[in-house]
Amino acid sequence: MRLRVMTFNIHGGRPAEGPVDLNAVAAVIHRLKPDLVALQEVHCFLPPPYAFQNQPHQLRRLLGMELYFGRALRLGPVAYGNAIVSRAPVERVRTRALATTRQWKGLEPRASMEARVLLNEQQVRFLNTHLGLTPEQRCLQVRQITQLVRSEPGPVIVAGDLNATEDSVELQLLTEAGLSDCAAGGPPTFPAISPRCRIDYLLVSRHFAVERCFTEETEVSDHRPLIADLVLRD
């Protein structure tokens, strides 16, 4: 079975330059036609009287696909986190808080989402995350994620903004857990204007073959999306 997977840090719908524009974000996703999408930096605000956007609700309507929001942070009416979008049936979604170091306790907490997606009568685990800003944080968080990866033998995809480069300890830990980087040695994703490095990843278990992995040149966020065409082996 062939499927297209995307990870995209949408920066709260704010482009590299200019005001928030979720329509532009949705247009990029529509154009690329992914089957599974991992979104980071999604904002979710309570409805009026608060004059803010409920981005999960708006993106669900704009995309016409099922969307699940996983909260990492809540401050009063404001929530912030990740989202998973799927064309295929989703059997279960779970959000887990990720560990942090003492000096970052309470500051921009991070989370991972796990969706169990039914693809061709086979269950695939799709993990979406956005890791912390320091190597110490990220190593703690990656160890939690690798525990999840190793907890079951079936097919798994890990997607997200890892805030780490290919030569990092964080990536080494993920590959040691049996995951392959779909875009190893591939194009940069950040910043969206003249990108210099790749901190966005799609990593897959041995159950997948990678046909190609690429980015899309767009400035609807401060990141470029990363897309992979995969084949789920029988």
Q: How many domains would you assign to the chain?
A: 1
Q: What CATH number is attached to the domain comprising 217?
A: 3.60.10.10
* Of 71-85, 120-134, 153-167, 215-229, the least confident: 71-85
Q: How far apart are CA 73 and CA 67, in angstroms?
A: 18
CB 67 within 8 A of CB 112: no
pLDDT tens digits along 157-191: 999 999 999 999 999 999 999 999 999 999 999 99
Res 79: pLDDT: 82
pTM of the model: 0.94
The overall average pLDDT reported for the chain is 92
pLDDT tens digits along 90-133: 999 999 999 887 665 556 789 999 999 999 889 999 999 999 99
* Of 97-101, 189-193, 210-214, 228-232, the least confident: 97-101
CB 83 within 8 A of CB 70: yes
Beta bridge partners of 201: 160
| Confidence band of 207 (pLDDT split at 50, 70, 90) | very high
Q: What percent of the chain has pLDDT over 70?
A: 94
| Confidence band of 20 (pLDDT split at 50, 70, 90) | confident
Q: How far apart are CA 107 and CA 5, in angstroms?
A: 30
Range of the domain at 215: 2-232
Res 47: pLDDT: 52
**Phi and psi (nearest 5°) for 190?**
-145, 140
Q: Is the pLDDT of residue 145 over 50?
A: yes
Of 44 and 52, the structure prediction assigns the larger pLDDT to: 44
Of 86, 84, 74, give the one whose Cα is nearest residue 44: 74
Q: Is the pLDDT of residue 49 over 60?
A: no
Q: What percent of the chain has pLDDT over 90?
A: 81
